[in-house]
Structure formats: C-alpha cells, structure tokens
Structure 1
C-alpha cells in the first residue's frame, strides 16, 4: 500500500499529546477536551497489545481464543485499489460485504499476508461484547460512568475516507499502526462530502483521495488541510476524537487491530440529529424560497436560538415539548413521528 503523498502531510499540525497517571486523570482530560489528543502507551499492558507485538498471527490467535461462534460481517476489497474502501466509478461500493466465521476470515488473511496484491479485508465496528467472550474484561479502558459502546476494528492495510461520528470516541491501537488525519467540524464544506444515503458505512464521507488529491476538482481541500491535525499511533497508543470531528483513517501494517469506545455526551434518549437532517431534506429543502425562509426562522426560534422568550407567554404546565426535554417527552415525540411518517 502506497504511503500518502508526503507533500500532503508535511507541515500539518500534530495532534497534541497528554500524559495521564490514572483513570481519574483521563476522565478529567476527556471532560474538558474540545479537540483531539493522544495518550501514548495508555493500553500498552493489554494482553492483546503484547500478542500483536509478537506478530499479526499471534494477535489473530489471541482473538480466536476469545471469539464467539458467530457470523462476522467483513468487507473484502479488490487488489490494486491501494487499500481504499470507497466508491467505484458508478458510485457503488468498491468492496463486497460478506458473512463468515472468524477462523475463515483469518485463514484468508493468513494466506495473503505479505502479498503485494493482497485484497483489503476489513471487519469494521464489531461489538466486543456480542462477538467475543472475555476480551473486554482482559483489554479495556476504565471510562468511569460513561455508557460506552466498545467496538473492535480488524483488518489488513486499508484506507477509510474522512467522515465524522456523533458520539465522542477513544480509539486504542492494539496491533499494527494507524494514521489519523483529523479536521474540525466546521471544515465539512472543504472536505467535499459525498451522498448522505449511499455511504460506505452510514456516514457521509469525503470524496477527496488523500493519497492523490485533485485540487482542481477540490480546491477548498487546501483550506481543510490548513486546519488539519495528523498522528501516527503505535500499539498501545490511544487517540481521543471529539464528537463531530472528521477523521481519515489508515491501517499502515499488513495486519491492524483497533478497539474504540463511543459515548454520547447528551442523554441516550435524545433523538439522532442525522435523522432530523434527513427529514428536513424530505420536508423543507425543496419548498419555495419564501416558505423555506420562514421555516429557517422557525428552526432558529424553536431550536438553534431557543431561549426563555419562546415559552414565557405560555402558562407552566401547558408548554408540552417546549419544556426541557425528558425521557417521557422524547418517547411521545418519537411515537408521534413514527405515526406521521407511516401515513
């Protein structure tokens, strides 16, 4: 797999590194962080990290000892695509999505490891608790009272297009090396995002090829690079990616493993903002300009600029969902929306 054009990465800001003495210090850093940071060696004592330092096969054997007897979803790309799991010329995916048990998948990796024309093989966002037994107990980060989703990412040399996630993220390299190139949320226009419904993994991705950027087609990408941060993570290192930060991810070794933890800073019972955006495209985007302008004002009034003036003239007890959201109110809204969308 070719390395990225050195001219693209040269001069980019490095992700800041912090030291944490214990889980309380990590918690304190996470609570105040508004930008990414790296903790070198945070999980270096994990048994999985030690296995990966011996070899990729040793790491695979370790995972096999903890696997559940289940079908895993795996993406298999084509040789010659530089490990990039992306779109083809017709905007279909350039990889196949298959189901197989972990020993079969790892046997294929064993058979092609080290080959220059090996196809990229990638298991993305596999739930650690559902698909492995004892793996979390032996290899995890204490994140206090956060309600985390723990996922594992396993693969050969791969490139994953820049995208963002709504939850906050702590990503821990357990084997191999990974390079992250990160961008603040406000750079989304300069990343030239693709479709929101036809995506490689559920989130709109940058259409820019980071190894071979076409600045004629994507001139604003230069501005995005001016705000970018980059880091290469070794086994045992961890990276915090705040909510909504865009990240381009490269697995740099023939075999790579990452465990990550996602959590929402907002209550879990709140809705997904992406659902609201999709519904606004359905219901608002193509209205006549004067109607759309009015709806923009209503969104500002009730959502983006909402303050006490929105409800001051309504008696307490009669404000309905204009009051601060509660789990019960969220459930009522969700039921109402489901009925309306089903009509």
Structure 2
C-alpha cells in the first residue's frame, strides 16, 4: 500500500490561488494533497484550542434546524457499515437539533463507553449560516456551497462520489485510503439501491485483507494510496475515485466542497449510465461488444472526434456542445424517451 509521498501530488496552500489554478488541478484527474490550505480558518484555530472551543465555535452558527446523524454502539469503534447481511445496517439514525448532536459528540469524545455519533453532509449555508463567511477557500467559485461533517472517531465505508471533492480538515486527523476508478471490479461493490448515504460501498475494503469471500481485493489493495491529513490540510479527490475515510481523533470536523468543473448542463454521466444499464446490460455478449464499439467511437473517442474527416460546419449535432448542440441532443433524447 503506497503513501501520498510516493504517488499523490502535494501542493502548498499558495499553489491554489484562484479559479484558474483550481481548474488546472482538476483537469489532471489525480488526487492532490494541499498542505495548510485552511490553516488560517478561525474554526481550525478554535478546534486546536480544545474540543469544547471547537464545538462552541461551530455551535454559535446553529440556525435551529434538525438533521439526521448515524449512531453506533461503542464496540463498533465508528465503523459504520452494513450489518451481518447487506439488507440491514450496524447503526441507527437519530434526528435532533444541530446543537444537541454536537453536545452528544463532545460527550462521546471523552467517554469510551458512549455511543459514536456521526453528523455528515450538512449544507452549511442552511444549518450554520455565517460560518462560510469566516472560513472559505478563495479559489472556490461562490456558487459551490460547502458542507460540514462532525463526529467522533469513525471509519466511513469505501465509496465514490460523482462530483469532484475538496475536503478540508478542520479538527482532528483524517486518513483517506484511495483506489482508482478502474479498481471497481476488485472492490466487490454492494447494492446501488440500498446504501448507507446514497453511494454504493465496497464490501471487501471493510472486511479485512484475508477475507476469502473477496479474493480479487488483493489487486485493489496493492494499488491503494494512503493519505494522512492534519487539521488545516486539504485533499482534492477527483470524481469516481474510491475512498475510505478514517477520522482518527475523538472529535473531528471536516468541511468539503462538491462540484463538477466540466458540467455544461443539468444532465449527469451517472444518469446516462443507469439508462445504459437497462438498455444494454442484459443483451447478448456479442451485441454488447458491438455497442461498446459505438460508445467508444461517439462518446469516449479514443481516436478523436468521430467526424474529424469532415469540416466543423458539417458536424451537425456532433459539433461543439456550447454552440447549441447540447440542447438539440437533449431535446432529441427526451422525445425518444416520451415515445417509448
């Protein structure tokens, strides 16, 4: 298993200056550690003083909303996952006010017999308005809204996101174990429609190295990248990269940004993949191979534009999306879906 020093690029905070440097980082589609990116945040300084100071700093922005947290018994050590079978979970969900969740997390931080609580993916501008004004990444476009994750020591199951992710550690320490997108077949992924928090997770990554049910996991494990982050550090994680996240301190806070730097409209690749599954996945192998050739030619384009042999003015709807062809193709797809 490799460490970030071996493979993952490392930037200093000053390297991520503006939208242009952000776009350059994202275009490489590789993880990047950014040391000290949020080290000057007031939230980071408050949490460094003590657990109570960090909790109080966040709590002062509480808008009085409620949210749902994962809660697990102490013997789980924060390893939130499925139960004995993939039709259940080893934790319960608890709905409460934000300040009450934070209070419980602080209590559990000093009581080893207490349950572990994990409050995740809260839109900050809804639940903690005012926090962002004092704790922000200047290079991030204002349209990208941050989220906050607060909890005790935990291990969040290995999963992927369909958006680019900038994760900023505010309190505690985080260990990310990363696998590239093409490791998916070696990770033994669970159901896509029965998940803990929306995204499917790896069953093998949570099971340990020697589990005989997952023999191919050894290949994924050999490709894993391990990144350790201190408070003030950040990690850029490209979309579709698998990641297991360990919060190793009794009290942890992380702020993250999800966005799609290359989106040109409301339609998402994941939606297209789901539609392709029902249209193609159970056809005969030879026909699937034929469709793969067409997808490569028109969508993935390893040999360049499919109409490169014609002048651009003859490309029709295969011309540049920004020239109106996005809307034309979308209207055609919607019409075809309505007609079936």
Give the TM-score category using the shorter length.
0.7 to 0.9
TM-fit CA distance, 1:270: 5.0
Question: Contact 1:75–1:96 at 8 Å: present in 2 too?
Answer: yes
CA distance in 2, matches of 1:89, 1:328: 51
TM-fit CA distance, 1:81: 2.0
2:55 to 54, 60, 75: 60
SS of the residue 2:228 aligns to: strand
Q: Structure 1 residues 332 and 118 mapped into 2: Cα distance closer, same or farther (>3 Å)?
A: farther
TM-fit CA distance, 1:286: 1.0
CA distance in 2, matches of 1:98, 1:341: 41
Between stretches 264-273 and 18-27, larger displacement belongs to 18-27
Aligned pairs for 1:210-221 within 5 A: 210=206, 212-221=208-217
2:187 to 184, 191, 209: 191
SS of the residue 1:173 aligns to: strand
Question: Contact 2:154–2:246 at 8 Å: present in 1 too?
Answer: yes
What is the match of residue 6 of structure 1? Answer: none
Question: Contact 1:13–1:228 at 8 Å: present in 2 too?
Answer: no
SS of the residue 1:109 aligns to: helix
What is the match of residue 4 of structure 1? Answer: none
Q: Structure 1 residues 221 and 316 mapped into 2: Cα distance closer, same or farther (>3 Å)?
A: same
Residue 128 (structure 2) pairs with residue 132 (structure 1): yes
CA distance in 2, matches of 1:248, 1:273: 23
Question: Contact 1:76–1:122 at 8 Å: present in 2 too?
Answer: yes
Residue 148 (structure 2) pairs with residue 155 (structure 1): no
1:216-275: CA deviation from partner (whole Å, max 9, x where unpaired): 222332222222221221111111212322211011111100011222121251521111
CA distance in 1, matches of 2:312, 2:243: 46
Aligned pairs for 1:106-255 within 5 A: 106-145=102-141, 147-210=143-206, 212-255=208-251
Question: Contact 1:147–1:263 at 8 Å: present in 2 too?
Answer: no
Residue 80 (structure 2) pairs with residue 79 (structure 1): no
Between stretches 114-123 and 300-309, larger displacement belongs to 300-309
What is the match of residue 319 of structure 1? Answer: 316
TM-score (norm. length: structure 2): 0.85
CA distance in 2, matches of 1:262, 1:99: 24
Question: Contact 1:146–1:263 at 8 Å: present in 2 too?
Answer: no
What is the match of residue 51 of structure 1? Answer: 46
Between stretches 54-63 and 132-141, larger displacement belongs to 54-63
TM-score (norm. length: structure 1): 0.85
Q: Structure 1 residues 285 and 60 mapped into 2: Cα distance closer, same or farther (>3 Å)?
A: same
TM-fit CA distance, 1:99: 2.6
Q: Structure 1 residues 342 and 72 mapped into 2: Cα distance closer, same or farther (>3 Å)?
A: farther
CA RMSD after TM alignment: 3.0
CA distance in 1, matches of 2:312, 2:44: 59
Q: Structure 1 residues 308 and 247 mapped into 2: Cα distance closer, same or farther (>3 Å)?
A: closer
Q: Structure 1 residues 315 and 137 mapped into 2: Cα distance closer, same or farther (>3 Å)?
A: closer
Residue 24 (structure 2) pairs with residue 31 (structure 1): yes
Question: Contact 2:13–2:36 at 8 Å: present in 1 too?
Answer: no
Matched residues, number = 333
